[in-house]
Structure 1
Amino acid sequence: MERRGFLRGAVIGTSAAAFGGSLWSGAAHAAPAQPGAGPYGALGAADANGIQLPAGFTSRVIARSGQTVPGTSYTWHNAPDGGACFADGTGWIYVSNSEINPGGGASAVRFNSSGAVTGAYRILSNTRQNCAGGRTPWNTWLSCEEVSLGYVYETDPYGVKAAVQRPALGKFKHEAAAADPVRRAIYLTEDETDGCFYRFLPTTWGDLSSGTLQVFKAGTGTSGTFSWQNVPDPDGAPTTTRNQVSGAKRFNGGEGCYYANDTVWFTTKGDNRVWQVNLAAGTYELAYDDSLVPGGAAPLTGVDNVTGSASGDLYVAEDGGNMEICLITPDDLVTPFLRINGQSGSEITGPAFSPDGSRLYFSSQRGTTGSSSGGITYEVTGPFRA
């Protein structure tokens, strides 16, 4: 595998922060990750919220489905899913999708510079099963419908502008999105057992009203070279987008997607894999595959949403598994970062770092009840490595 470097430093309130929360440090991912000791040590005993964390880290509950967000008059949505953070003056905003159908949509929580909640509000309504999504360099949130012939909606995290449907990004069972400002592309995953991986090239960068949808083409292996080919009919009817291009590579249940420094990672839940696409080199490979862990001792299963930190660590949330967020480090170790106890009927969703990298937000979609009305959104604070 080609070695690659990552730039250091979080950039608050700029387009750099808008697609990853921070830029990446000098590190390299070199092979499919294997279990090992993590940078933060072992998980401690469960705290009052039922979360096991390494020493020095603490958790708090930000919001609960069906209840008023503390410090506001806004009732938090059911089934919280994909999320992202946005700089807001000296504070920040965390947005979260609602994976229910009908209803769906997305909400936002606003924090001041000390981390106190100062507001909460709706940014998207009356859509269907909004699962994951992605942030853009121009500070909007792409909320994706995980239904057949679903749409992507571009929303305003600040609650000022109305959400806009973006059909040019294709109609299919959308999952996640990640923006690449270098190639001026939006990458998109598809949650089908024979789904595809796409990119959208806007006619004008920063305007998603028109452009070209392309599909990833490659061989049947887990590594090699790839190319892109235009999808003739992004509308997906009568022929679905994934069945319009001969040679389009199939992926088993596309989930989370994350971009940093000429690399895009995405997860596939059907085979518990994390894929790595090296955009500058024009190659792809596996960053993680639970079947390649000897002895059936894979710490990461049920791969789902993914994000990254300033250190170059990937944070991968589990849908099921041990209800963990696991790290994949730049030196190819995979290890649990946190575990939620007593919520085996749920999944972890929406991991995202505050703009300065000091706080990690995520949700348990169904909480302790196993119902969409039992969702809980958390914050973890601690000595995240820079």
Structure 2
Amino acid sequence: MERRTLLRGTVAGAVAVAGSLWSGVASAAPAQPGTSPYGPLGAADGNGILLPAGFTSRVVARSRQAVAGTGYGWHDAPDGGACFVAGTGWIYVSNSEISTTGGASAVRFDANGNIVSAYRILGNTNRNCAGGATPWGTWLSGEEVSRGYVYETYPEGGKAAVRRAALGRFTHEAAACDPVRKVIYLTEDETTGCFYRFRPTVWGDLSAGVLEVLVAGTATSGPVSWARVPDPDGSPTLTRNQVSGAKRFNGGEGCWYADGTCWFTTKGDNRVWAYDAVNQRIDLAYDDSLVSGTPPLTGVDNIVGTRGGDLYVAEDGGNMEINIITPAGVVAPFLRISGQSSSEICGPAFSPDGSRLYFSSQRGTSGSSSGGITYEVRGPFR
């Protein structure tokens, strides 16, 4: 029987540290507003970020400016991201959501968190929005365009990215790997989008496999099944329109897998979903229309989990916050960015030891893709 615990993503040799996951997701009510385990937000710091006591922020990179200590100009419109173990340090990878000249870049840190280098790992692709880390240490970067591709990239550099057409051609958002069932879950950013999984012929090799779509009724919770997508190429019929009974999701966004559960978000209805892979059912972990009072979390977007069992959900708009959802079902702001109401928060990811949170404001203070800012927050994460 699989232990129902939330694991920090295991990539490139990172050590998985277990913490408590929500027990009995299927019977739990969606999260409700409450007091954050970190307490209230303080005044904005010098970077314009409101944080709980004990936490500090720094700017890691700015679009069109050289990353500190390197000659590498950071990309425009930073979006989805992830951290990877690299020697005694780590790498933070970030997508660039720019048409035709998008891609992904990386910043490498030493064991003390100092920036060592920065470089490009994918270039000249189309609106690379979110993605996901694999257990074998690569970054899956998805194109958020109709019949977009997924590219498998190599965070340490030195190896060309590979287009993985077998994962299907659709409006890709995030990806999350399930090493137990040897599948990759995929979200689709369309108002009538679907939730997919890819079963590689050989786990660790994404050159071939089977693409499937989740099938269910119209209810927000209950048992589900999977059906094969006949033509993953999506032409002439789009992948989401090929299987009768495929469940529709309103704007699929972030995706995070941990020990039996895949959490994914939909921005059109401000929901966080839980797919229970053990029992093959879906349930709502959060729905802003079901909270008591003013919902703290809107503009639901990227999602990441921690070793302690908490989920962190970034906002596209809203109050420009990252909200925490605890295993006890409490949702509350963890941080807020001030003075950047025309932006969105993207790419939340924790360093391998869980002490640092990276994320980006895609358009920064300017409201333009050339004004992106990537941050690091340090503090006593539980």
Judge same fold: TM > 0.5, yes or no.
Answer: yes
2:61 to 41, 52, 63: 63
1:360 to 339, 357, 360: 357
| Structure 1 letter corresponding to 2:358 | Y
Give the conservation status (yes or no) of the 8 Å contact 1:31–1:287. yes
2:19 to 21, 24, 40: 24
2:316 corresponding residue in structure 1: 319
Q: What is the distance in 2 between the residues matched to 1:352 and 1:84?
A: 5
Gaps (5+ residues) in structure 1? Answer: none
User: 1:102 Cα shift?
Assistant: 1.7
1:257 corresponding residue in structure 2: 255
Q: Secondary structure at the match of 2:102?
A: coil
Matches of residues 1-386 of structure 1 in structure 2 within 5 Å?
Answer: 5-6=4-5, 13-14=12-13, 22-25=17-20, 27-28=22-23, 29=25, 30-295=28-293, 297-385=294-382
Deviation readout 1:287-324 (Å, 9 max, x if unpaired): 000000123x0000000000001110000000000000
Give the conservation status (yes or no) of the 8 Å contact 2:6–2:309. no
Q: What is the distance in 1 between the residues matched to 2:245 and 2:266?
A: 19
User: 1:74 Cα shift?
Assistant: 0.3
Q: What is the distance in 1 between the residues matched to 2:124 and 2:106?
A: 16
Distance 1:8 1:122, change over 3 A: closer
User: 1:226 Cα shift?
Assistant: 0.3
Give the conservation status (yes or no) of the 8 Å contact 2:57–2:378. yes
| Structure 1 letter corresponding to 2:311 | L
Give the conservation status (yes or no) of the 8 Å contact 2:350–2:357. yes
| Structure 2 letter corresponding to 1:329 | T
Give the conservation status (yes or no) of the 8 Å contact 1:146–1:175. yes
Give the conservation status (yes or no) of the 8 Å contact 1:11–1:23. no
Q: What is the distance in 2 between the residues matched to 1:79 and 1:63?
A: 12
Give the conservation status (yes or no) of the 8 Å contact 1:153–1:163. yes
| Structure 2 letter corresponding to 1:24 | G
| Structure 2 letter corresponding to 1:256 | G
Give the conservation status (yes or no) of the 8 Å contact 1:348–1:362. yes
Q: What is the distance in 1 between the residues matched to 2:22 and 2:130?
A: 27
Q: Secondary structure at the match of 1:24?
A: strand
Give the conservation status (yes or no) of the 8 Å contact 2:184–2:199. yes
Distance 1:99 1:261, change over 3 A: same
| Structure 2 letter corresponding to 1:181 | P
Runs of 4+ in structure 1 off by over 2 angstroms are: 7-17, 22-31
Normalised by the length of structure 1, the TM-score is 0.95
RMSD: 1.5
Give the conservation status (yes or no) of the 8 Å contact 1:15–1:139. no
Deviation readout 1:144-168 (Å, 9 max, x if unpaired): 0000010000000000211000000
| Structure 2 letter corresponding to 1:25 | S
Deviation readout 1:186-239 (Å, 9 max, x if unpaired): 000000000000000000000000000000000101001000000000000000
Q: What is the distance in 2 between the residues matched to 1:12 and 1:206?
A: 12
% identity of equivalent residues = 71
Q: What is the distance in 1 between the residues matched to 2:306 and 2:99?
A: 32
Give the conservation status (yes or no) of the 8 Å contact 1:323–1:348. yes
Q: What is the distance in 2 between the residues matched to 1:155 and 1:13?
A: 13
Distance 1:11 1:217, change over 3 A: closer
Q: Secondary structure at the match of 1:373?
A: helix
Give the conservation status (yes or no) of the 8 Å contact 2:11–2:133. no
Deviation readout 1:321-366 (Å, 9 max, x if unpaired): 0000000100000000000000000000000000010000000000
Q: What is the distance in 2 between the residues matched to 1:323 and 1:365?
A: 11
| Structure 2 letter corresponding to 1:276 | A
Give the conservation status (yes or no) of the 8 Å contact 1:268–1:303. yes
Q: Secondary structure at the match of 2:124?
A: coil
| Structure 1 letter corresponding to 2:19 | W
| Structure 2 letter corresponding to 1:264 | C
Gaps (5+ residues) in structure 2? Answer: none
Number of aligned positions between the proteins: 378
Distance 1:50 1:273, change over 3 A: same
| Structure 1 letter corresponding to 2:356 | R
User: 1:281 Cα shift?
Assistant: 1.0
User: 1:7 Cα shift?
Assistant: 5.9
| Structure 1 letter corresponding to 2:281 | T
Q: What is the distance in 1 between the residues matched to 2:156 and 2:29?
A: 40
Distance 1:10 1:242, change over 3 A: closer
Normalised by the length of structure 2, the TM-score is 0.96
Distance 1:36 1:7, change over 3 A: closer
User: 1:282 Cα shift?
Assistant: 1.2
